[in-house]
Structure formats: C-alpha cells, structure tokens
Chains A and B, each alone.
Chain A
Amino acid sequence: MYSEKVMDHFMNPRNVGEIEDADGVGQVGNAKCGDIMKMYLKIENNVIVDVKFRTFGCGAAIATSSIATEMIKGKTVEEALKLTNKSVVEALDGLPPAKLHCSILAEEAVVAAIEDYKRRHGHEIEDAQQCPGCCGKCGSSRDE
C-alpha cells in the first residue's frame, strides 16, 4: 500500500530527535486522531540550518515528517513556508488516499514551528492554517 520511498523514510527516518536550543518548535495533530507531529527548527540568518522531528503516528505520518525535514533543511524561512502537502506527497511518490491528511499535518508542523520562531523573535505572524485536531476538512475525518 505504501511506495518504496514511504517505506524508506518510515524505516530510516531522517532527522529524528529534538534540538535543545531550538529557535522554533511546532506541534500539530492530537493523540485522539492518532497523529502528533512535533518539529524543532534551528534558524540562523533566516536560514533553517537544522531541523528535527518526533512523530506519534502511522507509517505515513512518520515518512511525511521525515521527508518534510529534508525538504526544508537549508532553506530560508520564506522558502520553507512554501512547502505544500502536495509537494510532500509527490516527493514520497504518492500516499494512499486515506493517508493524505498526514502530508497536511507535515505542512502544518513546519508552519507551526516557523510561527513559533517568529513569535519568539518579534515577527508579525501572518494568517496561517493550523490543525487544532480533527476538523474533518482535510478529507480524512475519522468521526464518520
């Protein structure tokens, strides 16, 4: 059901762990839904120089977190904010329809971590989407 790329990132996840003196930390999802992603960013001169994650969730949740960290590492904050769930899915050679919400969570985890960074550094926070839990809007509502 999963692509080889997903299985690779699931079995050998990149950038697992935490950054103790992180500049931004974001956590999205909730345990009720079965997915929580937490992302740590180290940012220097507006560039993401290090990123780590911890994820509670299914294979797709772990794989999307892993690839998202790879995709934003070395990028500027503005570039990282352009990461879309679609590009995460493409980079993984696709996800089963029931697992697409995991890619949205990954996008939201990046946004949440950058928002935290901006807040800490006195930047204005733009309107950004954030997952407060299962709203059902990402097409993966589990309350059906």
Chain B
Amino acid sequence: MNKNIIYVDHAATTYVKPEVFEEMRPYFTDLFGNPSSIYSLGRESKKAIENARSQIAYCLGVHPTEIYFTGSGTEADNWAIKGAAYANRKKGKHLITSSIEHHAVLHCFQFLEKEGFEVTYLPVNEEGLINPDDLAKAIRPDTTLISIMFANNEIGTIQPIKELAAIAKEKGVIFHTDAVQAMGNIDIKAKDLNIDLLSMSAHKFYGPKGVGALYIRKGVRIDNFVHGGAQERNKRAGTENVAGVVGMAAALKLAYENLEEYNRHLRKLSDRFINSVMERIPYVRLNGNREKRLPGNVNLSFRFVEGESLLLMLDMKGIQASSGSACTSGSLDPSHVLLAIGLSHEIAHGSLRISFGERNTEEEVDYIVDNLVEIVGKLRQMSPLYEDFIKKGGQ
C-alpha cells in the first residue's frame, strides 16, 4: 500500500491478503475451467469450490451442504430475506428486523412492505443494543422471519445473537443474521447459536470483493432468488466465481486461525485511540457500547463540526476514514443508526468512524490523534455553533 496512506476504513473493505491472492491466482489464468464442465479442467474447478465450501462450513461449525455462494453480502441478505418471506407467505406475512440494519437488509424489508408484508422494526437502546424482551413481545402467530445483524457496521455494537436466536427457535420463527461485519472478528458457530440463515462477504475479512455466502440451515426452506442454471444444487444460478470462492475460504480460514491475536491487536489500537482522543479533545462522545463492540471499530461524534469536512481534512493528511456508513456518503442524511441510538441531527452530522485492521500500528494511531486534535480545533474555530457555545459560557 502507498506508504503515505493510513487506511483505517476496514469496515468499508479490506485489502486482499497476499497469501489469499496467491491461492486465487491459478484460477484466473490456468485453472479457468467452468465447474459445470465434465472434463478435467472443469472438475478441477469444481473440486476447488467444494474444498472452499468445506473450509467455510468447518469455520462456521456447519455441514458443507448448508453453504451457498453468492455474488456479495448484499445478495446473500436479499436472498435470505425475500426468499424466506415468500416461501412462507401462506403461513404469515409478518416480519421482524431492527432499526439499525445495513441498507442491504433494511431496503429489502421496505420492498417487502410494498409487496404487502408487515414489518416490525425493533428499537435499540442508546448503545445500539436490542432488548431480547422486545423481540419476544413482537413475535406474533403470523411472524415468519426475524433478521437481526450480528454486529453493526457503523457503531460496531455486537447484538446478543444467542439469546435472540433462542427466542426465535422457541417460537418456531426463521432467524437470519447479517454477519457481514462480524465474520473474521468473532468466532461464530452458526449451529451452536441456533442461526437458520447467515450472510457473509469476503471483502470484509481480507478476501476479494464480489463474493459472499449464505448459510442455510438444513431443513429451512427459502425461495430461489437468482434463476438460471443448476449451480449451487439448483438454488443459486450463475457460473461460480471460482477464484473468488477460493479466496473467501482462504481468507476465512486465516481469520479463524488468528482470531484471538487479531482481536487483541485491534482492541489495543482502539483502546489507545479512544483513550487518547477523550483525553485530548473536549466535547466528544463514543457511539456504541464500549465493550460489546467489534474490536477494530471506533465511532465518535465531535460536537460543533461536520463529518464530511473532517473526512476531507483527514484525507489531506493521508488518513482514510469514514463518516457513518460508506454506503450513505452519497446522501446528505445523517446515518439512520446514529439517529436510532438517539443522537440529534447536529451530533450525528459530526460523526467519524475509524475501523482498524491488521496492518495498523500504534504509531499510526498517534498520528491520527495528533491530526484530529488540530483538525477538530480548526473546524471548531470556523463553526458558528462553537462560537455560540463559547459565548454562552460553554454550557
């Protein structure tokens, strides 16, 4: 990577680890056969896919036949949610999700509402946590699907998935979790957690972009989403992204092998960053729960400053971070997640998300904080809100 760039937006995407890329390489140039072809080149590709499937299943503690490859995490979410809703619509048309889901989930439910489904959006507390009692109360006889994200992409909050899934199981409702942000950070064993459907995306854990997977527990029926050929045991058509699938499995295997060390490293960086910012910059709040959060995620709101200005100035110093979700950067609305945890628009506009990764160092943390002190100071000197605040005696 460019030496002058400090990349701290790993929640948006990660680079592909060199060793992962090496495993993928032959499937672009030499072993390019279509896995559906019966000659040796095709069989070689087929074998690679099935090996990858087994590796991913092993990590998740599930059977290989329960893993289906998709073109992205978003596709896995779309398939799980729409597939489960339509497959069970004769049973009922009530669905439950949370108010802080990624748009890949939220917009599926909004689509289904237009299709005549009824959706309950569970609230979260000020740290972004769902109360399991709220879920239990929301379930009705006609509820067919519950979809709750494992960990939030913006504020990093990790949900009590085991408790939530247990409630769903007791009531006989399908439980889906968008684990796109959590995979590679948390030792997820889908079977033990009673998860029925789980989405993941390779480029969040040092794998390639353009490949994801959906875990569908044996016995759970969902409608097909992409129609065509007989790939993925007739459930997801389209010639497989062989290199991508190989890369995803290699990346996940590495992630599971290094989970503890990776968590320790990220937690050390995040703690150093949070403590240092809190010490050196006034009027800052940490969004999300301090403990129940993804180890590399830090989401801060700086009062009196606006997030885009902050990002642009950080970028001028080579620091690549995010304000809220990268997907929402095209819109001007403050993040729905920050509003859901009760922040005012003004405070939500001043949010900064830093997500650390494997290559980040403590020196980089210090460099970012030094620059933040200067930039936030400069922007506050420019801010009429800060001016008013000081004139009112800092109340």
Give A residues with C-beta under 8 Å from B.
2, 7, 10-11, 13, 16, 18, 27, 31-38, 54-59, 61-62, 98, 140, 142
Contact = CB atoms under 8 A, between A and B. Distances in A.
Contacts of B331: 142
A142 B383 contact: no
Contacts of B386: 56
If over half of B's interface residues share one DSSP class (helix, strand or loop), that class is named, otherwise mixed; here it is helix
Given A27-B384, A31-B346, A142-B333, A59 B312 contact: yes
B381 A16 contact: yes
Contacts of A10: 309, 312
Nearest to B330: A98
A57 B306 contact: yes
Please classify the interface of chain A as helix (H, G, I), strand (E, B), loop, or mixed, using the class held by over half of its residues: mixed
B308 interface: yes
A34 B345 contact: yes
Given A31-B346, A31-B349, A57 B309 contact: yes
Nearest to B380: A56
Interface string B365-386: 0000000000000000111111
B334 interface: yes
B381 A38 contact: no
9 contacts: A10-B309, A11-B313, A18-B387, A34-B346, A35-B306, A36-B383, A56-B383, A61-B309, A142-B331
A16 B384 CA distance: 11
A50 B170 CA distance: 71
A34 B345 CA distance: 8
Given A34-B346, A55-B382, A98-B332, 7 more contacts: A7-B312, A37-B384, A54-B384, A56-B382, A56-B383, A98-B330, A142-B333
Given A31-B346, A98-B332, A140-B332, A36 B309 contact: no
Contacts of A31: 344-346, 349, 385
B109 interface: no
Contacts of B309: 10, 57-59, 61-62
A62 B382 contact: yes
A57 B330 CA distance: 15
B308 A58 contact: yes
Interface of B: 304-306, 308-309, 312-313, 316, 330-334, 344-346, 349, 381-387
Contacts of A18: 387
B382 A13 contact: yes
B224 to A, nearest CB: 33
State the 5 A-B residue pairs at the shortest beta-carbon distance, nearest first.
A31-B346, A38-B384, A58-B308, A54-B384, A32-B345
Most buried by B among A2, A11, A31: A31
A19 B380 CA distance: 17
Given A59-B309, A142-B333, A54 B383 contact: yes
Interface centre among A13, A34, A37, A55 (most CB of B within 10 A): A34
Nearest to B347: A31
B17 to A, nearest CB: 30
A111 B312 CA distance: 29
Nearest to B308: A58
A13 B309 CA distance: 12
A55 B312 contact: no
A56 B384 CA distance: 6
Nearest to A54: B384
A34 B313 contact: no
A57 B384 CA distance: 10
A78 B309 CA distance: 32
A142 B332 contact: yes
Contacts of B305: 56
B382 A54 contact: yes
B312 A34 contact: no
A56 B304 contact: yes
B371 to A, nearest CB: 13
Contacts of B308: 58-59
